[in-house]
Structure 1
Amino acid sequence: MPGRRPLRRSAAGAIVAIIAALVLAADQFVKHLTIENLPLQEPVPVLGEFLQLYYVRNPGAAFSLGSDVTWIFTIALAVVAGVIVWKAFGLRSRLWAVVLGGLLGGVLGNLGDRLFREPGFPMGHVVDMISMPWMMPAIFNVADIFIVTGMISVALLVVVGLRFDGTRERDHVAVETDEEAEAAAIAESAAEHGRAAEPEQAAEPDSAADDARRADADGAPAAGER
């Protein structure tokens, strides 16, 4: 069954941009609602201990890590965003476009907090509000969800061998195998033609020898003339 045709680069870039914009908008909207409606650092049960809303301002990275080096995470987020945008220009894979779009949206969501929220550029604190105490002590947000799932998805796409151009590793191996088989067939055909030509070439000296013997026979005197 033939696979789907790869995307045009402009279409893949559009997918990345649209998904990133949607994720960024969702993240910032949830953060706005959190700031306007939730008390700071007070748990609000949603599904008991399974899911709670807990508004905090996080100076660290995703899941509250590294709160003492906020500026490093600001630089890291900016670098990651730049790399994703750069890679988006060469994409032709739908899956890669969706994954990188979600990852870019998550990165931009937290990067915007670092740049524009208190206490100021580039040390702004990220707004977190989702708590699942039964699973982990950390509090996270919508952007964190897309960052983590995006990184896991990137790892899976690398493992299965899906390239940015929409092809897979095994497709390249199959092409190389076909080329090698074609080259071998051409070489074998050339060898067969060479073997077929050898008897004709070998026959030429025998023909010349026969002509020489006939000429000697014609020029030799008959037995009664001696």
Structure 2
Amino acid sequence: MSKPLIARPFGLGALVLMLTLSADQLSKYWILYGLNLPDKGSIAILPFLNFSMVWNHAVTFGMFGGLGGAGRIVFSVIALAVACILLVWMARTPSRLTAACVGAITGGAIGNVMDRVRYGAVVDFIHAHAFGWSWYVFNVADSAIVCSVCVLLVQNVLMGKDHQTT
């Protein structure tokens, strides 16, 4: 008898991809149309956290913002190509943790592409700050991507140590 799809690495990765994509798009919809953040600009949530409306026409940390209108197409095509490569990785990995992380990265990438296609820019709104320090404004997709990459790096370091001792 074969395992249920969710018990397989690819099934788990696909589930995490859909959950990440859904959480990202639902949060952006709520920010834009429920909270109406574009009209409000910024709202203090906690002493160290604001919802601040930013339309990101560039990529991570505002890099490559000088591409103008072509950036929307270039960034979307590159992100979709990377998502396809990630799906192949997700399908081939025997690790459920790797598949889940790759699913989250892929879901985040697709969520940001959907913004670029729909709005011409990525909807960023989470703004952490403390003691005069301010981080870049980001979104749920960005969080999923960064956290998953960190988990994959830690997993790789730990696996490297296990392989060195055997």
Question: Same fold, TM exceeding 0.5?
Answer: yes
Q: TM-score, normalised by structure 2?
A: 0.81
Measured in 1, the distance between the counterparts of 2:163 and 2:91 equals: 21
Q: Indicate the structure (1 or 2) with the bigger Cα radius of gyration.
A: 1
Question: In 2, distance between residues paired with 1:67 and 1:90?
Answer: 35
Match for residue 97 of structure 1 among 87, 96, 99: 99
The DSSP-based 3-state class of the residue aligned with 2:156 is helix
- Going from structure 1 to structure 2, the CA distance change for 1:8 and 1:26 (only over 3 Å counts) comes to closer
Deviations 1:138-190 (A, max 9, x none): 2110000011112222222222237xxxxx635xx84xxxxxxxxxxxxxxxx
Identity of aligned residues (%): 27
Residue segments in structure 2 that go unaligned for 5+ positions in a row: none
Q: Which residue of the other structure, out of 20, 23, 28, is the alignment partner of 1:23? A: 20
CA contact (8 A) 2:5 2:12 kept: no
Aligned to 2:111, the other structure's residue is in SS state helix
Which residue identity lines up with residue 163 of structure 2 in the other structure? E
Q: Secondary structure at the match of 2:31?
A: helix
Instruction: State the shift of 1:113 in Å.
Output: 1.2
SS in 2 for 1:46: strand
Q: Distance in 1 between matches of 2:62 and 2:158?
A: 31
* Cα root mean square deviation, aligned: 2.5
**Residue 130 (1) aligns with residue 129 (2):** no
Higher strand share: 2
In 2: Cα distance, 1:132 partner to 1:153 partner: 21
Q: TM-score, normalised by structure 1?
A: 0.61
In the other structure, the counterpart of 1:33 is 30
Matches within 5 A, 1:41-120: 42-48=41-47, 50-69=48-67, 70=71, 71-115=73-117, 117-118=118-119
Match of 1:151 in 2: 149
CA distance, structure 1, for counterparts of residue 112 and residue 140 of structure 2: 9
User: CA offsets per residue over residues 104-123 of structure 1, 9 Å max, x none?
Assistant: 111111111122x13xxxxx
1:72 and 1:80 map into 2 onto residues whose CA distance is: 12
Structure 1 segments unaligned to the other structure (5+ residues): 1-6, 119-123, 163-167, 175-226
Larger RCO: 1 or 2 (CA < 8 Å, sep 6+): 2
Distance change >3 Å, CA 8–CA 93, structure 1 → 2: farther
Distance across 2 between alignment mates of 1:10 and 1:111: 29
Cα distance in 1, alignment partners of residues 147 and 124 from structure 2: 17
Rounded to whole Å, the distance in 2 between the matches of 1:77 and 1:126 is 13
